[in-house]
Structure 1
Amino acid sequence: MTPDVTKAARMVAEAAADVPVEEIPRRVCAAVCEGLGMDGATLSLLTDTPSRQLLAASNDAALLLEEIQFTVVEGPCIAAAHRGEPVAVDDLRAGVSSWPLFGASMREKLPQVESVYALPVFFGDYVLGSVDLLALRTHALDEEELEQASLVADAVAVALLSTRDMILTGARAPAWEPEEVVRAHWFDTARAVGAVAATRGLTPENALALMRAEAFRTGGTLADITREILRQPPGAR
């Protein structure tokens, strides 16, 4: 079924109307997923890790999609944010040569997902995040539909404007769901990077690379490694 992007954009606007600010990402994410006829969706801001925040995931598969990209530092979400344009992976089974680690992880951990799309979220001329979409079928959106879906990303940007100041100031951990993953993406990873850097005399970039290498070695996610580090006493890191 061809998605009605005008209807989807309207659903996003309605989802963000007259609700508490902490409810906006979850409601908007659900509206994007339903409005575009996808099997999962995520919203994320500040897509350059580790200062990256997952705002909402519509279901477990969408959450794992985000975790995979967060761990391997590649994939359509990150590419969309860097390029400032929609990115399509129409058939994951056909291979993802641009992102070999992402492709391998998706085929291993989310074999039921057959296509993924990412839409940049703009605030003015600045890309501050992206919307990720997944489908259990190949070619869920054609080229024209993906381009039109940018209207939905624009509606997401408008809906999130009311949360922008709180996000950028980092004044407190937003009460957004799933809370433990938001913390892992936003506050805890930065804390763990700092702890490893201080203990081992590394730059933050090298500390983060070491943590990612451990995630690859163990088959876990970067969030798993973060939790393990923060559970350890300072001298053991």
Structure 2
Amino acid sequence: MGDLRSALVDSMAGAPSALEAADRLCRACVDVLGVDGASISVADGITTQGTFGSSGELSRRLDEYQFTFGEGPCLDAVRGGVPVIAADLSSTTEDRWPAFRDAVLTAGICAVFALPVGLQARPFGALDLFNRTRGELTDRALSGGLVAAELAAAPLLKMMGSAREMADSAEGELGWDQLASLERVEVYQATGMVIAALNVSPDDALIRLRAYAYAHGLTASEAAWRVLDREANLHDDGWGSGGRAGDDDRD
């Protein structure tokens, strides 16, 4: 176990930012633990606020699916404060997170392992480990994953702390910039356009954006960019019924 911890700790040494440290830790999970991908999510148990780190673009996309569909092992791990194991997403008995499951299987991933990230019993995120093949993690890989989840808390807390405690300093400004980069600003902007176009509530607008993403095999962020770039017609049947703001009601 000592060699695993040392390798994971060393992977983050000298990182110029908290986000880079998180990315390096995820890549080390792939190299050291023998998994096919890893990502670190910031989450509150209801939704994910953003991807804090990832081993690559596929892992980042898989994490995006949890926000897009509002379900997934990361959210369950944060809510319950315990690891959530899905060793065979292709199994007919695996009925958790149906939308997330279908999207992840389509992407070629068969197993996901979500490990809470936080302090004691207060998780504020999760480390997700992905495998293309089904099957449980080895004892060594699971032990290393738990160590990585423990280590993932430090750079995130550092980033949040520097942003709050040194708001007027250059370091504090960098912390806020990094936190802002986790937010899916394009999603909020796009839902605003949906609200204005269809005269619906913010919650309904987000539901419609997520439904559009699911129907087109996109993440919520990708669907949002289509809206912002005027590539999605908000008044076709794909967005559901709803009058435009200011339109007269009709029977």
Segment drifting more, 57-66 vs 38-47: 57-66
Q: What TM-score results when the alignment is normalised by the length of structure 2?
A: 0.75
1:71-150 aligned within 5 A: 71-95=68-92, 96-108=94-106, 110-111=107-108, 113-141=109-137, 146=142, 149-150=145-146
**Is residue 8–residue 32 contact of structure 1 (8 Å, CA) maintained in 2?**
no
Structure ranking higher on relative contact order (CA contacts 8 Å, 6+ apart): 1
Distance in 1, matches of 2:80 and 2:118, equals 12
Partner of 2:207: 209
Q: Is the partner of 2:34 in helix, strand or coil?
A: coil
1:218 and 2:216 are equivalent in the alignment:
yes
Amino acid at match of 2:135: H
Q: Moved runs in structure 1, 4+ residues, more than 6 A?
A: 167-171
Match of 1:230 among 228, 231, 234: 228
Question: Aligned AA for 2:81?
Answer: G
Q: Is the 8 A contact 1:92 1:114 kept in 2?
A: yes
Q: TM-score, normalised by structure 1?
A: 0.79
Alpha-carbon distance between aligned partners in 1 of 2:101 and 2:131, rounded to the nearest angstrom: 15
Q: 1:81–1:155: structure 2 CA closer, same or farther, 3 Å change rule?
A: same
- Aligned amino acid, residue 78 of structure 1: L
Equivalent of residue 69 in structure 1, options 46, 53, 66: 66
Superposed, 1:150-189 pairs within 5 Å as 150-165=146-161, 172-174=176-178, 186-189=184-187
Query: What secondary structure sits across from 1:120 in the alignment?
Result: strand
Percent of counterpart pairs with the same letter? 26
RMSD: 3.2
**Greater radius of gyration (CA):** 2
User: Unaligned stretches of 5+ in structure 2?
Assistant: 236-251
C-alpha contact (below 8 Å) 2:195/2:201 kept by paired residues:
yes
Write out per-residue CA displacement over residues 118-168 of structure 1, whole angstroms, 9 at most, x where no aligned residue.
111113542111111011332241579646732321111123322123677
